[in-house]
Structure 1
Amino acid sequence: MGFRRWAILGVVSVAMSATAMMADPWVLAQQQWRQQRASVLTEPDGWLSLVGLHWLMPGRQAVGRTVDADIRLRAGPDLLGEFELREVDGAQQVIWFPPSSREALHFNDADVSSDAIVLGSDTSEKPSWISWSDGSVQLIERGGKLGLRVRDSSAQTRRDFQGLAWFDPVQDWQVSARFEPKPDGSTIPIANVLGQLEDTPNPGTVIFEKEGASYTLEALGDPAESLFLIVADRSNGKQTYGAGRFLYTEAVVDGEVVLDFNRMVNPPCAYNAYSTCPLPPPENRLDLTVQAGEKTYPGAH
């Protein structure tokens, strides 16, 4: 009877503890943020909707689902049209020649009204989208290569979404850090999963203390709005995604910034095979086990 009584008390204690945790405004805010993250991922054009990435070669290429297409899509119309990669004044340019039957297609959410359209890549001032009822194609540029990224709202990765796995939120993993700015124009080489290396604006270094030690992280982004940190730690490949995780911050204020490791998230590559994720630079490989934030995605791609 004594053992049974203590067992019952233990269950009640755990339940009361969980209830108290959920009633904590800070914990509630973390849970709401996590729900929002899942909602964004599962949007019809979110990262879970990617079904293809096709690099363009010089010249014209027919693109579509038909077996005769030079680039065969897994989703979309039988013929999306022809795409021509050419060089103009020393720069690469992609021209889209829509098919004659184009009523179901849209260019940047408008009707297709031209027989030849110059496309802007995702890194340009005016990115281009070609869309249809349940999908789209976007021109992307990576390391001088131009390709077509394909989205499908009925993608299996989206249909079979398993939900996200997280460590329990812990306030000790929300730490204040010092931001040390670098001279204007500073850059850091960032590699991506394609094996490309790109010099990326590096506005400064973030310095924080944890478990009695000091750590530094090289920051990307705009200190006046949000820093972007690509981080590796000793949990990678065990409890968390093997290629590291992302952490976004609020704006830097008076040389200080908050690092909430509870909001570390997986890069898009954790959910699909068609992303071109950046990898943590050597400077951002922490000799620390960060048991906070998003765990390894339980689904597959």
Structure 2
Amino acid sequence: MSVGCAGPQPQESEYRASIKKWHAQRAERLMRPEGWLSLVGLHWIEPGRWTLGSDEGSDIVLATGPGKLGVIERQGDEVWFSPSPDAGISIDGGAAAERILLAADVSGAPTVVRFNDGAASFVLIERSGKLGLRVRDANAPTRTGFIGIDHFPVDSGWRYEAKFTPHPPGKTIEIASVINTLEPMVNSGVIEFEREGKPYRLEVIDEGDGALFVIFADRTNGKSTYGAGRFLYAESIDPGHVVVDFNKAYNPPCALNSYSTCPLPPPENRLDLAIDAGEKNYLGPH
């Protein structure tokens, strides 16, 4: 198999239908009550004691919820929450009345604090030592006003059966983010493909589940596509080859709202190539 060959291609009509189905499933995931479109706030927490609620006088002013939701206390790397009486709060599905230590998202089982009759919630997130509250609301304008995401026309010429070369175990790559962090991430291998006789490479990130995750930038960014790049998952064929289908390139959450902590493409994945495939820039409310 040659590096990055564009064939054999699936039957064209079936292929187009499969990509359209993928796009529809992607939109359905975004529209879920706790999908990316429901984000309404991201509040970083410094050490100390902070009142929390939608009242303008709160130390941390929320976009939704009771005027006085409760009190947040950060002590070192621990964050505690004390709910206000009659705020209608539930925590992890049960009624809440006492001070509770919040588990962060990196634990794999974050504490979910719900209010507004369960329509809104917050969780504690941790990013490179920074601790913050990520707030969601199922009635967020970004969700209720979602207009769908435009795509380039489906083109099987952007589907490649590419060479995959694993890196030695333990190799990492520095990944920057929109919140000015820099974090080493597991760099499991490199993908190689050709376009019009020119070779290209994409470094792959393993987020812990073994999937082949790619963060890339190309010459469409800031024009027809989101300025900070796009995401893509490659699909393994065998130990040395993968399918890279740019028709499945999609926007990071930061293209849809202002409260995400998206990683940015590493320098190695900034391609001198206009990839006219996959999702275009989102033009709806965000």
User: Normalized against structure 1, the TM-score is what?
Assistant: 0.86
Q: Shift of residue 252 of structure 1?
A: 5.7
1:242: which partner in 2? Answer: 227
Q: What are the Cα deviations for residues 12-50 of structure 1, in whole angstroms up to 9, with x where unaligned?
A: xxxxxxxxxxx9111111111101111111111111111
* Secondary structure in 2 matching 1:51: strand
Q: Shift of residue 225 of structure 1?
A: 4.2
The number of residues matched between the two structures is 274
* Secondary structure in 1 matching 2:66: coil
1:279: which partner in 2? Answer: 264
1:111: which partner in 2? Answer: 95
Q: Shift of residue 80 of structure 1?
A: 2.1
The structure-2 alpha-carbon separation of the partners of 1:140 and 1:252, relative to structure 1 and needing over 3 Å to count, comes to: farther
Determine what percentage of the aligned residue pairs are the same residue.
48
CA distance in 2, matches of 1:110, 1:206: 47
Alpha-carbon RMSD: 1.8
- 2:162 matched to 1:173? no
1:33: which partner in 2? Answer: 22
2:91 is aligned with what amino acid? F
Q: Shift of residue 197 of structure 1?
A: 0.7
CA distance in 2, matches of 1:298, 1:68: 34
CA distance in 1, matches of 2:210, 2:23: 21
Q: Shift of residue 233 of structure 1?
A: 0.4
Checking the alignment, whether the CA contact within 8 Å between 2:185 and 2:206 is kept in structure 1 is: no
The structure-2 alpha-carbon separation of the partners of 1:62 and 1:239, relative to structure 1 and needing over 3 Å to count, comes to: same
More relative contact order, 1 or 2 (CA 8 Å, 6+ apart):
2
Among candidates 61, 73, 77, match of residue 84 of structure 1: 73
2:14 is aligned with what amino acid? P
CA distance in 2, matches of 1:120, 1:250: 33
Q: Shift of residue 235 of structure 1?
A: 0.8
Q: Shift of residue 222 of structure 1?
A: 6.0
CA distance in 2, matches of 1:290, 1:250: 19
Among candidates 158, 168, 173, match of residue 183 of structure 1: 168
The structure-2 alpha-carbon separation of the partners of 1:252 and 1:143, relative to structure 1 and needing over 3 Å to count, comes to: farther
Greater Cα radius of gyration, structure 1 or 2? 1
Q: Shift of residue 218 of structure 1?
A: 0.8
User: Normalized against structure 2, the TM-score is what?
Assistant: 0.91
CA distance in 1, matches of 2:26, 2:223: 22
CA distance in 2, matches of 1:249, 1:105: 41
Checking the alignment, whether the CA contact within 8 Å between 2:191 and 2:203 is kept in structure 1 is: yes
Unaligned runs of 5+ in 2: 1-11
